[in-house]
Amino acid sequence: MLPITYCLRLLRFAKLCVSVMISHVNRFFRLSLAISFCICWSFLIVSAPSQAQTTSSAVDSLLSEPKPPDAPAEWKNLLGIYGHTEHTVIVLERNQTLFLRDSKDAEFPMQSSRIPLAESPSHSSVILGGCFSISRNEYGAGTSLTTCADNPQPLTRSDAGADPTHFYRVTPTRPVEDVRAEAFKLAPPEEAGPFRKPDLVELAPLDPAIHLDIRYASGNNFLSTPVYTQARAFMQRPAAEALVRVLHKLQPLGYGLLIHDAYRPWYVTKIFWDATPPEGKIFVADPQKGSKHNRGCAVDLTLYELANGKAVEMPGLYDEMSPRSFPNFSGGTSLQRWHRDLLRRAMESEGFTVNEDEWWHFDYKDWKQYGILNVPFERLADSLPPTAVRHQP
C-alpha cells in the first residue's frame, strides 16, 4: 500500500493532467500527457515501497532481539552490586528469573518471577531460592546480601540503586565559585592543528523530540552545584545532523533522545579537574589534554518514551561512576540492558562510539578534526527558542 504522501502527490498530478486535457489542445499533446502520467504512476508505485522498505530496514537493524518484558517492580529494588573490592556479586534479572553472578562470572538462579517474594515487611530479609538472603530497608531497597556459604558474611550493597540522589558525588577541594573565577582567567592548551572551522549548532531546536535534562546547569551532578549558567546543548554541525538521524531511527520504535550534556567549554573541564579531589580525578578529563566535549563532538544522553515523556530505566544512573556505568555491565534487568544496547546500536549506526566506561557518553567520529573550544554558552547564540522542550523527570 502506498504511503499517504505519495497518494496525495498522485492526486495532485492527476488533477493537473485532467485540467490540461480538457483545455483546447490537440490530440497529440493529450496523448503525450497521458503517456507521461502513466510513466510517473509506474515510477511512484515502484519507488514508494522501495523507500518504505529502506526505512523499515534501518529500523529493523537496530533490533537484535525482541523487546523483553519488564521485571517485577519489587525485584528492581534488589538488583545491584553487593560487596566491595575483590569480593563482589551482582544480582540481576534475565528471562524473568533472578540470578546471582559472582566475581568469576558464574551465575546461580535465585528465584523465578512465577514465585512471589516471601510475605514479609519491606524492611526485613527476603529469602531467595532457599540459599540467598537480601536485607531491605524501609523503602524495600536491598541493603546487604548473605549466601549459604560456610561462615557467610553479609555483603553490603555498593551501588546507588534506583535513587538518583545517591549516585557518585565528591566534596569539592575548594568552593566551586572560587575555582570558576580562576578557570575564566586561563586559556586552553595550544594545539598544532590544522582544524576545521567550528560550527556549533544548538540541538533542541533541531527536532521537538530532542529533550533536555542538562545536569550541570543544576545541582543534580557530582559537584552538587550548578556549573553552567544556561541549560543548553550544542554540537558541531556534522555531529548534530548525525544525532538527528539517530533520533529519526528511534522514533518509529517509540523513543526520543534526552540530552544531559554536549559541547562543554574548556573552562568547565578545568573546574571539574580543580574541584575534584585526587581520588576522583579518574572520572574527569585532564584539562591539559582537553576532552571531546570541549571539541563539540561528544554527547551524554539517554532514551525517553515518546508516549509518556519518561526517561527509560538503564542498568545504572547517569554519572554514577560505578561498574554499573560500563556499557557492557551484565547487571540490571533484561529490559534495562535492551534499552542501553538499543541506544548504543542507534548511535553507532551514525558514526558515534560509546565511551568504554560510560554507557551514556558517545563521541562522534570526526572529533580529531576540531580544536578545543572555550566559548561560553552565552556567546554562542540567542536565548533558547520557546519551541525547545526541557525534559521534566
Express each pLDDT in 258-297 by its tens digit.
999 999 999 999 999 999 999 888 889 999 999 999 999 9
Q: Spell out the residues 6+ positions from residue 138 whose beta carbon is closer than 8 angstroms to its own.
A: 122, 123
In angstroms, the CA 295 to CA 242 distance is: 16
Q: Spell out the residues 6+ positions from residue 177 whose beta carbon is closer than 8 angstroms to its own.
A: none
Q: How far is CA 171 from CA 161, 218, 275, in A?
A: 21, 16, 8
User: What is the secondary structure of 242-287 as a DSSP string?
Assistant: HHHHHHHHHGGGTEEEEEEE----HHHHHHHHHHS-GGGGGGS--T
Count CB neighbours of 275 within 10 A.
24
- Asked whether 82 and 155 are in contact (CB, 8 A), the reply is yes
**Architecture per CATH, 164-390:** 2-Layer Sandwich (3.30)
Query: Where do we find the cell 554541525?
Result: 237
Question: Would you state the pLDDT for residue 56?
Answer: 59
Question: Would you state the pLDDT for residue 48?
Answer: 44
Query: Where do we find the cell 537493524?
Result: 61
- Asked whether 70 and 113 are in contact (CB, 8 A), the reply is no
- Asked whether 158 and 150 are in contact (CB, 8 A), the reply is no
Question: Would you state the pLDDT for residue 55?
Answer: 52
* pTM for this model (two decimals): 0.81
The cell numbers describing 54, all together, are: 529502506
- pLDDT per position in the chain (393 positions), as tens? 444 444 445 445 455 444 444 444 444 444 454 445 444 444 443 444 444 455 556 677 788 789 999 999 889 999 999 997 778 999 999 999 999 998 888 999 988 777 667 655 556 778 777 788 899 988 888 999 998 765 578 899 999 887 766 778 889 999 999 999 999 999 999 999 899 999 999 999 999 999 999 999 999 999 999 999 999 999 999 999 999 999 999 999 999 999 999 999 999 999 999 999 998 888 899 999 999 999 999 999 999 999 999 999 999 999 988 899 999 999 999 999 999 999 999 999 999 999 999 999 999 999 999 999 999 998 986 544 433 444 444
Query: Where do we find the cell 533484561?
Result: 334
- The ranges assigned to domains in the chain are 4-49, 73-156, 164-390
In angstroms, the CA 287 to CA 119 distance is: 54
Count CB neighbours of 26 within 10 A.
8
In angstroms, the CA 289 to CA 267 distance is: 13
97 phi and psi, to 5 degrees?
-135, 140
H/E stretch holding 144 reads strand 142-147
Q: At what angle do helices 237-250 and 334-348 cross, to 10 degrees?
A: 140
What would you report as the CA-atom Rg of the chain, rounded to the nearest whole angstrom? Answer: 27
